[in-house]
Amino acid sequence: MAEVFEMTHPLVRHHITILRDSRTPPALFRAQTRRLATLLGAQATADLPLREARVSTPITDFVGSELAVRLALVPILRAGLGLVEPLLELLPEAEVWHLGMYRDEKTSQPVEYYCKLRADNPCDVGMVLDPMLATGGSVLSAIEALKRWGCPDIRVLSVIASQPGIDRLRREHPDVKVYVCAIDPELNDRNFIVPGLGDAGDRIFNT
């Protein structure tokens, strides 16, 4: 079964409450998304391998550590863009590869319109970024694209997931790790997460 990490840190619970509030204006919504993405990023990178790194401080030589893997951030357009900047602050050497998908409002199925992963030289760790994991369709499509690329370690970072979406991901990709700030119990008849926070892309970009 896929490993699922639901964060219970007090700061996560505090910031996500503000994020959910329908009165939260777009500028604050974006700021809260960045804060939660930073906390998610710290959790999702906690087990990354390190290698020895030798440097010279102003006083003497020092043997420290550096990341031993090549990372890729893979935001699902457009809402996933809201998670990129804070993760690049933590991982400035990470590559960024974009996947464009939108949800067909009639079928709730993802429709891919952009994918430009290079044909060779896959990353060591790929992080799929999507604030909302509802039915799981878009995230599953992104995972499949990364697997075709040859990425051996795939991790999903979402602010809020639905339990049905988590269950589906566990069934179809049990090797993928999932990091979320909250797991909500259900989807409504439009496949929106309940209680959720509405459409993350619309709220991030004020549309």
Catalytic residue positions, numbered: 103, 107, 199, 202
Q: What is the distance between the alpha carbons of residues 81 and 105, in angstroms, rounded to a whole number?
A: 21
Tokens linked to 191: 């496949």
Residue 140, helix vs strand vs coil: helix
* CA atoms lying within 13 Å on the CB side of residue 132: 26
Beta bridge mates, 128 = 74, 156
* Residue 195, preceding peptide bond in cis (omega within 30° of 0): yes
Cα-based torsion angle of the residue sequence 71, 138, 80, 89 in order, rounded to the nearest 10 degrees: -20
Q: Do strands 193-194 and 186-187 pair parallel, antiparallel, or not at all (unpaired)? A: antiparallel
Which residues in the chain belong to E strands, given as ranges? Answer: 4-6, 50-56, 61-67, 71-77, 95-96, 99-103, 110-115, 125-129, 132-133, 153-162, 177-184, 186-187, 193-194
